[in-house]
Every structure is written in C-alpha cells, then in structure tokens.
Amino acid sequence: MANENNAAESIARKLAQEEEWLLNFEKNITKSGQIRQGIEQVVEKFDQRLGLLEKNVLPMHISNGKLQKKQHNIQRLINTIDATLQFYGKTSTVETAINTGNPTAELDSYLENMESLQQAIIFFETHPNYRSQTENMRITLDTGSTVRKPTQRPEKLDGLADVDSCHVMCSALLSLLELEEKLMVRAIPDTSKRAQVFRELVSRPLAYVVLQTQKVVNEKDIGIIPLLPLLHLLSQNLARFHNLAANSIGDVQFDSLMRQLQVKCSSYVNEVVEHLNEDTTKFVPPDGNVHPTTASTLNFLSSLTAHRVTVTQHILALTAPQGTNTNLLLPKLFARILSALGSMLKKKANLYDDPTLATIFLLNNYNYIAKTLADEKDGLLPAITEMNSNILSFYHEEISTCTNEYLKSWNGIASVLKSTDRIGEDKQMAKQIMSTFIRDFDQILAQQMDYCISDPKICAHVQSEVRARIWKNYSQLLDACQRLHLFPQGIKYTENTFEMAIKNLFSSARIN
C-alpha cells in the first residue's frame, strides 16, 4: 500500500513539473511570437527605408556623379576660357582697329594688330568649337583695308605711302613759300621785282609737287579714305595754290589736279553704293555675326563725317543739281548708303538655310549699325538725323522685330508646356510632357549651338525673354514630376541645369 502511495506521489510531482514546463513553454512561444512580430516590423521598416533611399538618395548619388563630371568639365572649361578671353577680347579690339585704322597714319600699330589677329587665328584653329570665330577673323584678315590679298599688300601700302608723301610735300611747300615771302620782303623792296623773282622761284617746285601728286591720284587705286586728308589740305588752300599756279612761269596744272582728285573721290563714293546694290558674294558669317561689309561701310561713313565740309563742297557738290541745298548732300548720301546696306543684309540673310539664324544675323547687324550711329565719337548721328530724325528709333524697332521673330523658335516648347496645369496626379501625362520637353529642348539647343549674339546686353535680354517664355510652366512640371516620384534616375533639366542651358545660348562654350 505504501508503495502505491509513493508511486502516486511521484507521478503527481512529475505531472506538476510537466504542467509547469508546459506553462513556461507557452510563455516562451508567446514571447517568441512577439519577438518575431517585432522583427517583422523592423524588417518592414527597413524595406520602407530602403525604398526611400532608392527614391531620394540614389538620384542624389547619380546627380553627384554627374556633378563631379561637370565640375571636371567646368574646370577644363575655365582653363580654356581664361586662354580664350585673352585672345577673344584682344581679337575684338584688334578687328575693330583693323576695320577702322588708318595704315597711313599708324602703320606700325596697324601691322602689330595684323600680327595679333594672326596669332588669335592660330589659337582658335586648335578649338573646333570656335570655328565660326576663326572664319570671321579670317574674313577680317583677308578683307582688311590693306590686306585683301597678300600679293596686294606691298602695292597697297606703297600707294598709301605715296599719298602720305604728297600730303607732306604740299604742306612743306606751303610752309617754305611763306618763309620765302617773308625773307624776300626784306631782301627785295621793289614789289614788281620781288613778284618776278618769286614766280621764278616757285615755278619748278610747284610744278614738281603738282606733277607727282597727279601721278599718285591717277595711277594708284587706294580708295577714298587716304585721299580725303590730301583733298582737305588742297581745298583749304585752294585760292593760294590756284594763284601760284596761274602766276607761275611754267605750265602748272593745279586746277587739273584738283578736278582729277575730286572726280576720283566722287567715283569711289559711287562705287561704295554700287557695291552694296550689286553685291553677289555668297559669304555670310556661319554664326550669324556682324558681316564685314557692315563694319567697313560704317567705317566709311565715319571717315566721310570727319571731313564733312570737304566731302560736301568738293565731292558731292560736283554731281548735285543746280540749286540743291548742299547742307543735305551728305545726309542724303548716308541715307542712300544705309538703305543699300539694309537691302544687301536682307539678301545675305536669305542665303542661310536656317531662317532663325538669318534672324540672328539681321539682329547682330542692325544692332551694330545702331550702336555705331549712337556713338558720339564718330559723329554720325547728327549728320544722318538732318535727313531722317527717326533713324535710330527705326533700327531699334528692327532689333525688336528680330528679337520677337527669334523668340518664335521657342513657341513649340512653350506650347508643349501649356498642359502642365492639368497634370494633377496623372503620372503618365507628367512623364509624357517631360519627355517631350527634354527632346524638343535638346533639339533647339543643338540647332542653336553655334548661334552668336555679339552684344552682351542684347544677348542677356534675349536669354531673359527665352527664360520668361518657358520657366513658369516648366517649374510647375518640375514640381509635379518630383511630387509624383517620377524619373528616379534624376531629371535632366533641374532648375540649375535649365538656367545653365539658357545662359549658354549664343555661346560656343558647352559642358558635355
């Protein structure tokens, strides 16, 4: 009996132990479930964070990689720009000096400018992006007033030197004759004898000077600009030279010289107008910059203005109808030349295959004309406004018209962005508009990559107008794409890259 009781107690103890173990096991199972649930929540949050990192950090990582590449390119670009600015700024000054310089008066500096331009051409030839600048510089070099062709340079410079020598001879002769007269008044009191001696003394040097000047005028083809100082000197002392020649013992053809000089200068003036009206050359600046003929024509007008009285009285008055108001002869000539220049520029613009580039070409040339006319140093505007008081406002209106015409090239992109305000939560629509915008924007940038607007103020104004047409709607599109988490790899044109693209318009500097 005692054994049975002991066995029952033993079983009861084991049963109690088993129950206690089961209770502990159930608690462990419950705790394990809680731990598992906690781990699952952590894993789920980790997945969510990975997703957020993929959306937020990965695009930034990709963008940082692109930025590092761009920074590298920018550094290279800055180094190139440093070198380019040294040549480009210098080239602009040199081209102006060549177009407006007078080799007769400043031969050394003129030749230095030619050498500087040649060095700039060598530099820019090593950079394919600056092909258009190189072409323009070559045109300036080839069509300069003294270097149109290398074989003509010595002959041309000889002609300029001959004209300069004639000017010096005529001036020296006048000075010597004045000294001789003063000496003879003291040496020969008798007026009639003094006059006879003076005629004999003057005849040979006067005949020599007139003959040499006639040879230069008749034989040298150097254009009107070098002849104007000589014509001015002779016309200022016309009565003096005429009386000396008339009273000379020998046959001195001074009146014939004056007539030949006036006729030749008049023919040069007519040639300028005819050249503008009949110009059939096919050259146009590949970047739409100022045409060399525009610069040379404005330089020609400035030279005429500097000798206005001489040009009016001794050149233009020759062919003017009797009774014409001579004060208006030069303004009328300027009006004819500017009209012919405008017609020539429109013909040149038609040579471009790209109508937008043709508009840029006209914009640059009209702006160059307007700036030159407004330059008080040249004195062109007062002379021209005597005939047309609205001439400057006319060119400003043409510039505005060309600007508006150019802006039409961006109408396609502007129309693409008009649907931006209807996107809402439509991811497909936002993605379609952005893809279309990037495609069209890239096409326009590629098309206009070599366009040039030479005036910084006009360039900045046009860039601002382009931005104003696009940015408002594009910024909304940009916000929508970011809000809808589109383009996880990053959007090509962020606010910064968009601004950079606009600022690079009309510049050959590009970041690849």
Residue labelled with tokens 């300029």: 160
Which residues of 444-495 form beta strands (DSSP E)? none
Q: What is the mean pLDDT of residues 384-399?
A: 88
Residue among 328, 406, 304 at smallest CA distance from 363:
406
Please write the tens of the pLDDT for every residue from 284-328: 888 898 999 998 899 889 888 888 888 888 888 888 888 788 888
Q: What does the radius of gyration of the chain's CA atoms come to, in whole angstroms?
A: 42
Terminal CA-to-CA distance of the chain, rounded, Å?
A: 103
Model confidence at 147, in pLDDT bands (50, 70, 90)? very low
The residues, any chain, with a CB within 8 Å of residue 301's CB and separated by 6 or more, are 334, 337, 378, 380
The fold of the 409-503 domain, in CATH, is: Monooxygenase (1.20.1280)
pLDDT confidence of residue 153 = 44
Which DSSP state fits 190? -
Q: Which residues of 471-490 are buried (b: 16+ CB within 10 A; e: fewer)?
A: bebbeebbebbeebeebeee
Tokens of 497: 């890259």
Model confidence at 366, pLDDT cuts 50, 70, 90, reads very high
What is the per-residue pLDDT across 243-272, written as a single tens digit (0 to 9) for each? 878 877 777 788 888 898 888 888 988 998
- Provide the percentage of residues in the chain whose pLDDT is more than 90: 17
Of residues 302, 304, 303, the one with CA closest to residue 314: 304
The residue type found at 36 is R
C-alpha to C-alpha distance for 112 and 119, rounded to whole angstroms? 11
Token output for 443: 């096409």
Residue with tokens 């159930």: 26
Taking only the tens place, the pLDDT of each residue in 448-461 is 888 989 889 999 99
Model confidence pLDDT, tens digit, residues 40-85: 777 777 777 767 766 776 677 677 777 777 776 676 666 555 555 5
Q: What is the mean pLDDT of the chain?
A: 79
Name the region of 506 (left: φ>0; alpha: ψ -120 to 50; beta: rest).
left
pLDDT at 504 over 50: yes
Kindly tell me if the per-residue pLDDT of 466 is higher than 60.
yes
Per-domain boundaries in the chain: 2-143, 151-274, 279-389, 409-503
Q: Which residues contact 349 (CB under 8 A, 6 or more apart)?
A: 284, 358, 359, 361, 362
pLDDT of residue 144: 46
